[in-house]
Amino acid sequence: MRTLLVFPFLVLLALFAGCDRGKVLITGRLTDYKPRDSVLVSLTRNWEQIRLEPQAFTVKRSGEFELEFTVGRNPPPVTFVKNGKLYARLVFHSLWQPSPVLIDEVRNQVFELSIKENGLFTARVDL
């Protein structure tokens, strides 16, 4: 009988714990991009910390890019480095609230984040 009471509690706890993670898909365009440019993306607060790796990051010859990664309850900023110089730093604001946004601290631009039915956060940014 005790096992029957503990099992549903553990299932609910596991479901609740999974709610603080989400996938993020950022698509956009890098202005003044040339195919010979090098573009790096970092997901970290401090360069000395272990970095979170993006699951996918591709840049087309036209400068269109796609970045996919998983975030937790307190997501790190997304830093773009182009040709060795800071290009953009996207910071999540109110990610788990009704109106989440991405703020580019370099250009002071705000981009809306939308939430799909499957829990995917998406944003279109032009940097």
More confident residue, 15 or 124: 124
Total-model pTM: 0.78
Residues 85, 63, 78, 46, CA torsion sign:
negative
* Cβ-based neighbours of 117, under 8 Å, separated by 6 or more: none
Domain locations along the chain: 21-126
**Alpha carbon of 86 to those of 3, 22, 104, 107, 125: distances in Å?**
55, 26, 12, 11, 16
Residue 11 has pLDDT above 70, yes or no: no
Q: Residue 50's pLDDT is what? A: 54
Pull the structure tokens for residue 24. 């993020």
Closest CA relative to residue 107, chosen from 126, 83, 82: 126
Residue 91 has pLDDT above 90, yes or no: yes
Q: Residue 83's pLDDT is what? A: 95
